[in-house]
Amino acid sequence: MPTGVHLRDVRKQLFDAAERVLLRDGPSGLTSRAVTAEADVAKGVLHRHFADFDAFLAELVTDRIARVSDQGALLRAAAGTRTVAANLVDALAEVFDPVALALTSLVFFRDELRARVRGRGEGLPLLAEAREMLAGYLAEERALGRIAADADVESLGLSLVGAGHLVFAGRRRGTRPSGEELTKVVTTITADVVQRRLL
């Protein structure tokens, strides 16, 4: 590896490699050796930049959580456009992309990793942030009068994330639910608050 490569570049190279390993081999195939081999760097490179492999994984998950936060800002900005269901379907499809699903499994099964990332709040990391993102969006729609004024956006966010996770995670690797299937789930969960906005 060339000398003088900036830490940020090495981190991105390792994170990208970890995502490729997750997509190809699943969470059980994600090891420090697999990551460095995929990144085509010496084995010691990862340990020069991270205290241990769990520290690397925690940073990988934290990086994905930051993406959820960025997505949340874009989703809140979309309030008032298209339909509530269409916005939620797109958000769930992005939240539960194959890498995020694999990382969620990793966090669920690795106690040490979960403990390192859990400091951000209650719930399973990644899913908790996704719930907050959806609740924040629904609060914007509530303020615009597009869902009922008494809508419990926290419970709706929880229901959407739980159902979305089941719909995406319960499939064979490499397959995704159809837009129609996702729309049915979203419209079922939000039907009451969308209909009651007119009352």
Same-domain check for residues 102 and 140: yes
Residue 8: which domain range? 1-49
Same-domain check for residues 21 and 106: no
Structure confidence at residue 8 (pLDDT): 54
Is residue 58 a part of any domain in this protein?
no
Question: What is residue 71's three-state secondary structure?
Answer: helix
What CATH number has the domain bearing residue 32?
1.10.10
One-character DSSP codes across 73-103: HHHHHTTTSS-HHHHHHHHHHHHT-HHHHHH
Q: Which of 53, 24, 54, 51 is nearest to 36 (CA)?
A: 53
Same-domain check for residues 26 and 78: no
Structure confidence at residue 124 (pLDDT): 87
Is residue 55 a part of any domain in this protein?
no
| pTM of the predicted model as reported, rounded to 2 decimal places | 0.87
Same-domain check for residues 71 and 23: no
In tens digits, the chain (199 residues) has pLDDT values of 444 445 458 889 999 999 999 999 988 899 999 999 999 999 899 989 999 999 999 999 999 999 998 999 999 999 999 999 999 999 999 999 999 999 998 988 888 888 888 755 578 889 999 999 999 999 999 999 999 999 999 999 999 999 999 999 878 777 899 999 999 999 999 999 999 876 5
> Is residue 102 within 8 Å of 23, Cβ to Cβ?
yes
Is residue 171 a part of any domain in this protein?
yes
Structure confidence at residue 4 (pLDDT): 45
- The CA distance from 69 to 99, in Å, is 16
Structure confidence at residue 117 (pLDDT): 86
Q: If you count them, how many residues does the chain have?
A: 199
Q: How many domains does the chain have?
A: 2
